[in-house]
Amino acid sequence: MSQKRDNCIILLVDPPEPDKISQEFKTAFGPERATHVNSDLLSSAYKLAKGFSESILLLSYLKTPRHPDLTWLDPEDPGFLEVKSHALEDRIQEAFRLAFFTGAKKAVLIRHLSPELKSEWLSLSFEAVSDKTVAIGANQDGSFYLLGLTQQNLKLVEAPGFFHGKSAETLVERAKKNKLTVFSTPETYALNSEETLLKWMESKETLPPLFQHPQQAGQQESKKSHRHHSRHQEAQVQPPPEKPPL
């Protein structure tokens, strides 16, 4: 239990409401699909973090009158750190500070937009993080999906400008300037386009139609119809069973 208490996973959570989704995400997928896709990504990240037995979980949540708690994410209502500032960089700083204030020795922030994150990468990050080593996971677009720190290295996120653009590169540069070693988890992708959505869909068994582009949904429905029609034709052309000889 003591080792688990030494580690903390941080996850930022926003309610499933269109006005809480980034404009870039809504532009890529449309308001309705963006809300559903974002919620499913959050659910996947939450399940991964909750099921990780080697740490506690800290949720930074921007609650609203429609969603004052997290029962929409987990019926057991896990509780959360209530957000004071809406600015993402402030939320991250606040979450890290609370993690260390409550006793954690190492904290790893994960971002839900990178669905290929694995529990093994979390284990490797916690093993690697120390006062002389930070863990950083980069996406193919240059953003980061994972950041592991000790309290000694909070300075990496105390100055503004670490969250936007090629944030992984920014964090690596800051670490090197502070003479820190960088432990890199495997490169993956952030889900932010139809192309990456398709990649994610192909790694999952089923997704409801709202996650699919209308054209893709039509193509899949057409394929289903074609397969059904083919099976129907096969059933029609099968010859009747032969009668046994008299």
| Beta partners for residue 130, in sequence order | 133
- The answer to whether residues 97 and 154 touch, using CB atoms and an 8 Å cutoff, is yes
pLDDT, residue 234, reads 46
CA distance 173 to 176: 5
Q: Which tens digits make up the pLDDT trace of 174-226?
A: 999 999 999 999 999 999 999 999 999 888 755 455 445 555 545 444 444 44
- The answer to whether residues 40 and 208 touch, using CB atoms and an 8 Å cutoff, is no
CA distance 193 to 185: 23
Beta strands in 14-132 (DSSP E): 56-61, 81-82, 106-110
Beta strands in the chain (DSSP E): 7-13, 56-61, 81-82, 106-110, 133-139, 144-149, 181-188
Report if pTM > 0.85. no
Average confidence score pLDDT of the chain? 86
> Which ranges in the chain are annotated with CATH 3.90.550.10?
2-192
pLDDT, residue 246, reads 40
Supply 152's token pair: 């000694």
Q: Which tens digits make up the pLDDT trace of 8-24?
A: 999 999 999 999 998 89
Q: Which tens digits make up the pLDDT trace of 91-116?
A: 999 999 999 999 999 999 999 999 99
User: Domain 2-192: what homologous superfamily?
Assistant: Spore Coat Polysaccharide Biosynthesis Protein SpsA; Chain A (3.90.550.10)
Residue 178 DSSP label? T
pLDDT, residue 227, reads 47
- The answer to whether residues 152 and 161 touch, using CB atoms and an 8 Å cutoff, is no
Q: Which tens digits make up the pLDDT trace of 31-82?
A: 899 999 999 999 999 999 999 999 999 999 989 999 999 999 999 999 999 9
Cβ neighbours around 79 below 10 Å, total: 13
Asked if residue 239 has pLDDT above 70, the reply is no
